[in-house]
Amino acid sequence: MNASQDVQLIGTSDNTRHPNGLFTTSTGNGMAGNLTIETGALQIRDRAQVSVDSFGLGEAGNLMIIADSTP
């Protein structure tokens, strides 16, 4: 993800069971994939999440965050 200004990830779904956010996930043998966030400012709050996960034999992948500042 490349955003020239700000990225805000806030809260959960309506039933509060699932966080809002950015995710890559593998549940099998394959790699989940890489996640790169490049932005002027990154804000993650109120239970929102950013993650790369593996729940199987595959690898999780890499997370890279490039932000000029955090609010």
Q: Which of 42, 59, 62 is nearest to 2 (CA)?
A: 42
Q: State pLDDT tens for residues 36-66.
A: 999 999 999 999 999 999 999 988 999 999 9
DSSP calls for 7-65: EEEE-B-TTSSSB-EEEEEE-SSS----EEEEEEEEEEETT-EEEEEESSSS----EEE
Q: What span, in angstroms and rounded, lies between the C-alpha atoms of 53 and 35?
A: 11
Would you kindly state where each structural domain of the chain is located, as residue ranges? 2-69
Q: What span, in angstroms and rounded, lies between the C-alpha atoms of 68 and 6?
A: 10
What is the model's pLDDT at position 31? 87
What is the model's pLDDT at position 70? 56
Mean residue pLDDT across the chain: 89
